[in-house]
A and B are shown apart, each in its own frame.
Chain A
Amino acid sequence: MSFLQAILDGLLIGGVYAVISIGLTLVYGVMGIVNFAQAEFLTIGMFTAWFAWAFLGLDPVLAAPLSFAVAFAIGWVVQGQLIARVLAAPSVAQIFLTVGLLIVIENGSLLLFGSQFRSVTTSYQTMSLSLGPLFISIPYLIAFAMSLACGVALWWFMRASWFGRAMRATAQNPAAAKLMGIDTALMYKMAFALGVGLTAFGGAVILPYVTVYPGVGGQFVVLMFTVVVLGGLGSVAGAVVGGLAVGVIQSLSSLFFPIQLQNLVLFIVFILVLAVRPQGLVGASR
């Protein structure tokens, strides 16, 4: 029974890992840039939701679209003004830019908001559903459901909308896409803004159970990279599979080992997967 409980908890947590990591994989998939500052947009999303809760009385889950919008706007500007300049530059320049961005955002939020922890109080924070002997934590369930909804919306957007198709065309062959009349610069802005927006959205929905402070992104950054590389860098479906896998591995490992070894087990599995399938679980199908 504790086995089932662990899988359930792992899936719920993993759904959120998936949605915060989709952004990272999306940006890489479309532009070929690894955004090291991605996790900082999680922090931005969390702060946005916290302020919306503290001053507007908005539940963090309802504030998630607002977090998405704020990060989307910031991402739009960052892509247009900064990242666009290094798209054709050597990858070292790209790394320096996004790492620099990470430092600026982290220290900027430290300067603006201070270093203290901020936590929200919501009615459902301490509630759970009982399913026979199993407990389903309500905040985890809500975060999972929101992530799922967000993932489905993205899937629809990428499959069915003109913008989504144009974005995929840009990812496959920028030159050909341009010849077909697609504004690739716009597509890049869209992809980057969408990517960081999704991560910020994930930040808002986890706020009921994670406290926010300027360094909180650092708690997730390694996990995010593990998720996308495990699933296959650049693949959105891969991020979903990777996210769920990471959640379940972490949760199951704590059944057999001390919780401190949670990430050790995760990385052993990670290394093994990469040794057998270097392209990740789902592979490089962009």
Chain B
Amino acid sequence: MSNNHSLGSAGVNRRALLSGTAAVLASPFVLSSARAEAAPVNVGVIMPLSGPNAQFGINSRNGIELVADEINTAGGIAELGGARINLVVADATSTPTTAGTVAQRLITQQDMTAVLGAFVSSLTIAISEVTERRDIPLLTMSFADQITGRGYKNIFQVVAKASVIGKAQFEYTAAIAQAAGARIEKIAIMYEDTAYGTAQANGLRAGAKAANVEIVMDDAYPLGITDTTPLINKLRGSGAQAVFPVSYLNDSLLIIRTMRQQKLTIPAIGGAAGYVIPDFEKGLGEFAENVLSIDTSNYDLAPQLTERFRKRFGYFMVHEALEHAVCLEVLVQAIRKAKSAKAEDVAAALRGAKFTGGWINGMTGGAVQFDQTGLNVLSVPLMVQWRGKDIVTVWPKDIAKSAPVWRS
């Protein structure tokens, strides 16, 4: 049956790819037929636009489109004679093998300056194998350590690595609990078993170990899980004082709902992804209130920028949208610096330099600088907490917008 399904989604890819391509190809013509045309800069955008992770792909695409439209309306890239940014959007689906194929096709069909994508770490890893072979820079906000851990030359990760994020997820929580006079001795970890969940769980384990905290439950579960009752049964029996679930959307809703059913009120500290998008609050209502989550950036750190997103799309600028906006900002700055849209020139300009200003103001660290592996060394994770329909930065103290609430 799995064959039938991949057959089904292959049809969607092609259609989504075609219509997406047609739409973005058409828009510059409509906008700019009057001026003498500089060759547009092609930027591939490969995102999961169907399947279980589609919502994140759509959010990411929205962020990128916002920045591209703003640059194009302001006259394009002056250093290249007003060249416009031409986004070529493709659906990676939620399957890594398809993501690789889609990347291959995209690069073969058109000259690409760079590729942005693909939120889901396992998809990004699949795409990076293609872009690395073809020497095209890939800018990403995926978390997994593997992304910059393989010695690739053409990959650029704008956020901290999953192991660092996982460690912070534990350490910030311990610090918040301590500030409230509580002490955590036993914790539970549950994570979906793809590249992202596995890597972040490693970080959590390392953090707990360093603090001499006992991990009383440590369970992976498959992506697309439809029943989390066994996990929560186990959690209830484990005696954990806090639970650290690392999950995308569907599983995060299931976990919190099942916990409430079983009257488990221990704090849940999410691992970004499903815990920091509006759908989380939509699905849980009052039960979302005060849920903590680790994150890599938050819209309240740069409200003057992120309000533009809310105005256009009607919901707060989720971190994947913001960080993908940063990816494009960094890319455009590198193009300006290189005065070239050639992939290898841009990759050279990306390495080592420090990027500031524009959308980069939304990042922790206030700047982006890649080391030789392509990792942004300035990004630090932060902790957010749900307040009504918004998430608020509550830790570390120096950037917090509000004090954390801790109920053990």
Listed in ascending order, the chain A residues whose CB lies under 8 Å from chain B are 2, 5-6, 9, 13, 36, 99, 102-103, 106-107, 110, 114-117, 119, 121, 125-128, 130, 135, 137-140, 209-211, 213-215, 218-222, 225, 250-251, 254-255, 258-260, 262
| Smallest CB separation, B396 vs chain A (Å) | 32
| Interchain residue pairs with CB less than 8 A apart (16) | A9-B229, A9-B233, A102-B4, A103-B11, A110-B50, A114-B54, A121-B282, A126-B260, A126-B261, A211-B253, A214-B50, A215-B9, A250-B227, A254-B234, A260-B220, A262-B230
Q: Which residues of B contact A5 (CB under 8 A)?
A: 233
Total number of B residues with any Cβ neighbor in A under 8 Å: 46
Beta-carbon contact of B226 and A218 below 8 Å:
no
Q: Would A107 and B8 be within 8 Å (CB), given that A2-B233, A211-B250 are in contact? A: yes
Chain B residue at smallest Cβ distance from A136: B261
Q: Does B324 contact A (CB under 8 A)?
A: no
Q: Would A103 and B7 be within 8 Å (CB), given that A210-B226, A219-B224 are in contact? A: yes
Beta-carbon contact of A121 and B283 below 8 Å:
yes
* CB contact between B1 and one of A135, A222, A260 (< 8 Å): that residue: A222
Q: Which residues of B contact A13 (CB under 8 A)?
A: 227, 229
Q: Which residues of B contact A114 (CB under 8 A)?
A: 54
Chain A residue at smallest Cβ distance from B227: A13
Beta-carbon contact of B11 and A213 below 8 Å:
no
B interface SS class: helix
* CB contact between A254 and one of B5, B52, B230 (< 8 Å): that residue: B230
Q: Which of B187-234 contact A (CB under 8 A)?
A: 193, 219-222, 224-227, 229-231, 233-234
Chain B residue at smallest Cβ distance from A36: B4
CA distance A117 to B280 in the complex (A): 11
Q: Which residues of B contact A250 (CB under 8 A)?
A: 227
| Smallest CB separation, A157 vs chain B (Å) | 29
Beta-carbon contact of A225 and B257 below 8 Å:
no
Beta-carbon contact of B55 and A117 below 8 Å:
yes
CA distance A127 to B259 in the complex (A): 10
Beta-carbon contact of B250 and A115 below 8 Å:
no
CA distance A166 to B234 in the complex (A): 49
| Smallest CB separation, B273 vs chain A (Å) | 13
CA distance A103 to B54 in the complex (A): 18
A115, A127, A260: residue with the most chain B Cβ atoms closer than 10 Å: A115
Q: Does B318 contact A (CB under 8 A)?
A: no
Beta-carbon contact of A9 and B230 below 8 Å:
yes
CA distance A254 to B221 in the complex (A): 11
Q: Would A119 and B253 be within 8 Å (CB), given that A215-B50, A218-B5 are in contact? A: yes
Q: Does B12 contact A (CB under 8 A)?
A: yes
Q: Which of B5-61 contact A (CB under 8 A)?
A: 5, 7-9, 11-12, 49-52, 54-55, 58
Beta-carbon contact of B285 and A121 below 8 Å:
yes
| Smallest CB separation, B33 vs chain A (Å) | 31
Q: Does B133 contact A (CB under 8 A)?
A: no
Q: Which residues of B contact A138 (CB under 8 A)?
A: 261
Beta-carbon contact of B253 and A255 below 8 Å:
no
Q: Which of B55-93 contact A (CB under 8 A)?
A: 55, 58
Beta-carbon contact of B229 and A128 below 8 Å:
no
Q: Does B315 contact A (CB under 8 A)?
A: no
| Smallest CB separation, A197 vs chain B (Å) | 22
Chain B residue at smallest Cβ distance from A40: B8
Beta-carbon contact of B4 and A99 below 8 Å:
yes
A interface SS class: helix
Beta-carbon contact of A126 and B257 below 8 Å:
yes
Beta-carbon contact of B54 and A213 below 8 Å:
yes
Chain B residue at smallest Cβ distance from A125: B257
* CB contact between B49 and one of A115, A137, A220, A255 (< 8 Å): that residue: A115
Q: Which residues of A contact B407 (CB under 8 A)?
A: none
Beta-carbon contact of B230 and A255 below 8 Å:
yes
Q: Which of B220-264 contact A (CB under 8 A)?
A: 220-222, 224-227, 229-231, 233-234, 237, 249-250, 253-254, 257-258, 260-263
Q: Which residues of B contact A210 (CB under 8 A)?
A: 226
CA distance A90 to B55 in the complex (A): 42
- Top 8 closest A-B pairs, CB basis? A254-B230, A126-B260, A115-B54, A128-B261, A119-B283, A115-B50, A103-B8, A259-B221
CA distance A117 to B247 in the complex (A): 15
Beta-carbon contact of B260 and A258 below 8 Å:
no
Beta-carbon contact of A209 and B257 below 8 Å:
yes
Q: Which residues of A contact B234 (CB under 8 A)?
A: 254
Scoring B residues 343 to 369 as 1 if CB is less than 8 Å from chain A, else 0, what string do you get?
000000000000000000000000000
| Smallest CB separation, A3 vs chain B (Å) | 11
CA distance A262 to B193 in the complex (A): 14
CA distance A70 to B1 in the complex (A): 25
CA distance A130 to B236 in the complex (A): 14
Q: Would A260 and B8 be within 8 Å (CB), given that A116-B55, A138-B261 are in contact? A: no
Beta-carbon contact of A251 and B285 below 8 Å:
no
CA distance A160 to B392 in the complex (A): 61
Beta-carbon contact of B193 and A260 below 8 Å:
yes
| Smallest CB separation, A19 vs chain B (Å) | 15
Chain A residue at smallest Cβ distance from B230: A254
| Smallest CB separation, A38 vs chain B (Å) | 11
Q: Which residues of B contact A9 (CB under 8 A)?
A: 227, 229-230, 233
Q: Does B289 contact A (CB under 8 A)?
A: no
Q: Does B287 contact A (CB under 8 A)?
A: yes
Beta-carbon contact of B219 and A259 below 8 Å:
yes
* CB contact between A211 and one of B193, B258, B283 (< 8 Å): that residue: B283
CA distance A117 to B52 in the complex (A): 7
CA distance A36 to B8 in the complex (A): 13
